[in-house]
Amino acid sequence: MPDILFILLLALIIFGPKRLPEIARQVAKYLTQFRMMRDDLKRQIESELLNIELEEKAKVAAPAPPQLGASSQPVHPETLPNSPAS
């Protein structure tokens, strides 16, 4: 508490009683803008994290794509073990 009083007294001496209310309004305005930007950034980060989490859950829940089996590729008799061609 004494620190705040010292800062206010110092500001009163430096800026004077006429400019002090104007400066206080500007500081309050900048603090409000800062809080709004901080909250907006926080919401964006939370939204992106939620999207990433949902995408990961969708990948886990989605069935695996079908694997290409031997039936989709032509089989040459020379490549088969114990084939009559050998």
Query: For residue 68, is it within any domain?
Result: no
Query: For residue 84, is it within any domain?
Result: no
Diameter of the chain measured on Cα atoms? 107
Amino acid sitting at position 41: L
Query: For residue 32, is it within any domain?
Result: yes
Residue-level pLDDT at 62? 75
pTM: 0.53
Residue-level pLDDT at 43? 98
Indicate the number of domains in the chain. Answer: 1
pLDDT at 70 exceeding the cut of 80? no
Query: For residue 77, is it within any domain?
Result: no
3 state SS of 66: coil
